[in-house]
Amino acid sequence: MSAEISHSRFAFKDAEERWQSLWETRGCFNASDDRDRPKYYVLEMFPYPSGRIHMGHVRNYTMGDVVARYKRACGFNVLHPMGWDAFGMPAENAAMEKKVHPAEWTYANIDTMRRQLKMMGLSIDWSREIATCDPNYYQHEQQMFLEYLEAGLIERREGWVNWDPVDQTVLANEQVIDGKGWRSGAAVEKRLLSQWYFKITDYAQELLDALEDLDRWPEKVRLMQANWIGRSEGLRISFKIEGQENRLEVYTTRPDTIFGASFCAISPEHPLAAELAARDNELTSFIEMCGQLGTSEAVIEQAEKIGYETGLRVKHPFITGKTMPVYVANFILMEYGTGAIFGCPAHDQRDLDFARKYGIDVLPVVLPDGKHDVSIENEAYVGPGKLTNSEFLNGLSIEDAKAEITRRIEAAGQGLREVNFRLRDWGISRQRYWGCPIPIIHCEDCGIAPVPAADLPVILPEDVNFGAPGNPLERHEDWKTVDCPKCSKPARRETDTFDTFMDSSWYYARFTAPNADTPTNRDAADYWLPVDQYIGGIEHAILHLLYSRFYMRAMTKTGHAGMDEPFTGLFTQGMICHQTYRTQSGEWVEPADVVEGDGDGIFHVETREPLIVGRSEKMSKSKKNVIDPEDIIKSYGADTARWFMLSDSPPDRDLDWTEAGITGAWRFANRLWRIAADAAKNLPEPGATSQNTEVRRAIHRAIAGVTEDLEAFHFNRSVARVHELVNVLSNIDPKTDGETLREGLEAVTLLIGPMMPHLAEELWHTLGHETPVAETDWPTFDKSLLIQDTVKIAVQVQGKMRGTVEIANNAEKPVAEEAALALPTVIASLNGKKIKKIIYVPNRIINVIH
RNA sequence: GCGGACGUGGUGGAAUUGGUAUACACAACAGACUUAAAAUCUGUCGGCCUAUAGGCCAUGCGGGUUCAAGUCCCGCCGUCCGCACCA
């Protein structure tokens, strides 16, 4: 590259350094304490410090930054903070694999990622940075936990976990692969552990009802949450077990199909199953086999349905003399309903699969509307219809039959209607080291005691050993041993730590007063909360967001906040994808190692081996299709990376990372810079007025359009509008129409301010302004320039396009008709036929029907 | 398996939410500048038919509603996300 050429390019490295340090010196992005100004709280989901930022982060934080800078320019007092979701398993895995302490590993990652994020030029108030692994953060979690316990929001009970018998550790579902532990390869067992539960189910109805008011959330997320909460109205029925005093309680949402019932099934974790297994070795091994599936619902439901016939039989409540077999079945979840069902194979696919396998009767009891008989082969009928083969229910609709059977069963004292939720309580205990310690002491005599306030916080010990299996806290005798706060005798600390979702369920509140010595400062929290715009991945649509909604309510109940919903606006972004490359033998190849051949085909840069090009997939280390943001920022600059992130792909959809895309963005940044730099010396002083109405229309249309698009999260459209305007401006000669070019360039500069902030500052300065863009108001537009005198509208005959006519804006129907009927193509299409009617939508279309 | 979404040129996508389908960009091709290349600038660019005017066909596939469907409804196909201890 010659010196001359480099001269005519945007020197991004220099510009980025200069403007970033100016922003910092002037404190442009520090949230103000001025409570009289309207506030705007924009937050992106904080990152897990995994090592280095990835493109997903770049996209997420670019979008948040656009919103933050835009809102700031609109006059809001903006809070835009950043922190670290710093507890979690990867740090412990690193400790085991790389012999590095989780804290050391985590903080080193944070340093790297903070440096990388700063390279992006984000308008973040870094003075509020928090890390969840910092005792200054997690001590408040401990205090709140004890308050929740006091308030009855927390309880202790037993729960099932995946247990790795070799590593002596609890496994996450993702660590269970084909029923084996990922590290040890040992067959997984289901184990019952005493754990702490947050009683989110007490709020199930409320969390469901409140979804309706979250009108700035994507509809799909609200739907997913509603389905997750899964309210169902059904009936709990008590079946008499033949030859026993015990009864079997089942829950059903289809009590109308009771006459089609032909078996009962209970979960392998059902107490009755355990009772029977005590004297049945075969059943014991069956239950163990079910346990090997682990606790993942997805795995359980996809597994082949198997059952074990217990020999017990229950009596049908309405058919005298009829009894049904009771199975233990692997697809019945203990967590839902009563952990027992009655099966009606004709009208439930899972029951049908099961019945076919074990030769159980299939009795259809719902007749599809308009049919006279129904026979079931391998597909259950779950649609609407009328009851049949069901004695007193015959002829009723499903709804009526449900009501009738419920009435009868309740009257007979054989059951009760029950509202059930699929939502389960939130288990918050984790048998791990790198998390917030649960501030509880276990005493043999006194039982469970909270750590006294004076002894808080409970700090994680640093001297831990990851050399042996199991939780290092469990082996740390010094730390573990403590005097009982009640009787002073030696007792032991709880060695479990919190689920990391606990940390991320209130960090948004902590940002409003990150140094407060209480969890929140109510004054600050009441001013800043709720988060006006939250931005993050769709993968958090259910758990994180639901837990946070619940946690906010818990904080409000205990006085730490004063509202229910933490996030009034939500945007979920798509993922970043990239093409994948493999060798002939199937090994993944990094994009950096791929070169194009002379003709067709793609080759490995070193071995020259021809490569197979796979489809574009989510960037992941395992497929090696990752591009390092730092490389991109170093080669093209932060603005180019940001601009590309916003171009083309709608933000809620997946973005395909392409080399061509990033170079295109780079070329545009340069082109804009060059137009401004070349024109600068010929432009009139700021404030000159342009008379070029046509171009001014384009300028003001762009301002209006970009404003509207940013408000609606249509960043890709904003980018297109900026392109359009620049295309117009590039044809203006600064020597003959400098006023117009100045107005246009100033508009473009301010419009790209949120998207390419360094370039914007550079242009703004070039155009002779002293105040940085970061402190300049968002441009306004002249509405009168948006209205066109004439409009070109489409003319159709029989709904087919036949041409266009240019008529006055909002022309009267007769005027439009006359113009349309005069079109030669219309005359030809009509071919003398009689016109039946003419549909005219002003400024849109005119349709002639014959 | 259950729940949720998405599908438009060679490519990413746009379409005022039922009203001119393909804005904007990328790639490609042609031209200008250059010893040459890069960069830059100009032009062409959904398919088929046609000398032109113009016509016909195209929004994953198959139906439907409507004066009018990428948009609404029904049924398929494909891809992706979540499923409670990954974050």
Angle between helices A715-729 and A659-680 (to 10 degrees): 40
What phi and psi values does residue A754 have, to the nearest 5 degrees? -70, -25
> Using the CB atom, is residue A199 less than 7 Å from strand B?
no
Q: Which nucleotide is nearest to A200 (CA to C1')?
A: B84
Q: Is A251 helix (H, G, I), strand (E, B) or coil?
A: strand
ipTM (interface pTM):
0.94
Closest nt by CA–C1' to A841: B19
pLDDT over 70 for what percent of chain A? 98
Can you list the pairs that A834-839 forms with residues at least 24 positions away whose Cβ atoms lie under 8 Å?
A: A838/A813
Q: Which of A74-78, A467-471, A580-584 has the highest mean pLDDT?
A: A74-78
Q: What is the pLDDT of residue A601?
A: 67
> Is residue A542's beta carbon less than 7 angstroms from any atom in nucleic acid strand B?
yes
**pLDDT on residue A5:** 36
Tell me, in Å, how far CA of A180 is from C1' of B48? Answer: 58
* Nucleic acid strand B within 7 Å of A712 CB: no
Distance A845 CA to B58 C1' (A): 22
Closest residue by C-alpha to C1' distance, nucleotide B81: A539
Q: Which of A328-342, A605-619, A642-656 has the lowest mean pLDDT?
A: A605-619
Contact A416, A235 (CB under 8 A): yes
Which pLDDT score is estimated for A1? 31
- The separation, in Å, between residue A384 CA and nucleotide B64 C1' comes to 22
Q: Nearest nt to A501, CA vs C1'?
A: B87
Residues 764-803 of chain A within 7 A of strand B, judged by CB, are 792-794, 796, 798-802
Mean pLDDT across A708-726: 95
Distances (CA, A) of A96 to A91, A99, A738: 9, 6, 66
What is the spatial distance, in angstroms and rounded to an integer, between the CA atom of A328 and the C1' atom of B83? 23
Nearest nucleotide by C1' position to the A85 CA atom: B87
Nearest DNA or RNA nucleotide to A331 (CA to C1'): B1
Does residue A2 register a pLDDT over 60? no
Distance, CA of A570 to CA of A218 (rounded, Å): 7
A726, closest nucleotide (Cα–C1') = B24
> Do residues A217 and A364 touch, judged by C-beta distance below 8 A?
no
Tell me how far apart the alpha carbons of residues A798 and A424 are, in angstroms, rounded to a whole number: 57
* Whole-number pLDDT of residue A383: 82
d(CA A379, CA A640): 55
pLDDT at residue A841 in the model: 92
Alpha-helical regions (H) of A580-637: 629-636
Average confidence (pLDDT) over A418-446 = 95
- For residue A695, give both structure tokens: 């171009």
Which residues, in sequence order, are bridge partners of residue A248?
A: A239
C1'-nearest nucleotide to the CA of A546 = B84
Element housing A838 (H / E):
strand A837-841
User: What number of H helices and E strands is found in chain A?
Assistant: 28, 37
Instruction: Give the per-residue pLDDT at A756.
Output: 97
Contact A542, A224 (CB under 8 A): yes
Q: Determine the 3-state secondary structure of A161 from DSSP.
A: strand
Distance measured from the CA of protein residue A655 to the C1' of nucleotide B31, in angstroms: 34
Q: Which of A284-288, A627-631, A730-734 has the highest mean pLDDT?
A: A284-288
Indicate yes or no: strand B within 7 A of the C-beta of A90.
yes
- Worst-scoring range by mean pLDDT, A474-488, A647-661, A763-777? A647-661
Backbone φ and ψ of A238, nearest 5°: -105, 115
Cα distance between residue A846 and residue A231, in whole Å: 49
Give the angle A544-A47-A163 at the CA atoms, nearest 5°: 60
Q: How many Å does it take to go from CA A631 to C1' B38?
A: 22
Q: Is the CB of A303 under 7 A from strand B?
A: no
Q: What is the average pLDDT score of chain A?
A: 92
3-state secondary structure labels for all residues of A208-247: HHHHHHCCECCHHHHHHHHHHHCEEEEEEEEEEECCCCCE
Cβ neighbours of residue A678 closer than 8 Å, sequence gap 6 or more: A734
Strand order in the sheet with A189-198: A169-171, A154-164, A189-198, A426-427
Distance of A827 CA from B49 C1′ (whole Å): 23
Q: Is the pLDDT of residue A76 over 80?
A: yes
pLDDT at A4: 35
Residue A581, pLDDT > 50, answer yes
Asked if the Cβ of residue A85 lies within 7 A of any atom of strand B, the reply is yes
The Å distance, CA of A57 to C1' of B87, is 13
Q: Could you tell me the pLDDT band of residue A585, with boundaries at 50, 70 and 90?
A: confident
The DSSP bridge partners found for residue A803 are A795
Q: How far apart are CA A366 and CA A346, in angstroms?
A: 8
- Cβ of A829 near strand B (under 7 Å)? The reply is yes
Of A residues 379-418, those with CB within 7 angstroms of nucleic strand B are none
Dihedrals phi, psi of A841, to nearest 5 degrees: -110, 110
Confidence check: pLDDT of A604 > 90: no
pLDDT at residue number A599: 54
Calculate ∠ Cα A766-A770-A776, nearest 5°: 100
Q: Which nucleotide is nearest to A382 (CA to C1')?
A: B2
Question: Within window 488-507 on A, which residues have Cβ closer than 7 Å to strand B?
Answer: 499-501
Q: Which nt sits closest to A541, CA to C1'?
A: B82
Q: Which nucleotides of B are covered by protein (CB under 7 A)?
A: 1-6, 11-16, 19-21, 23-27, 38-42, 54-56, 67-69, 80-87
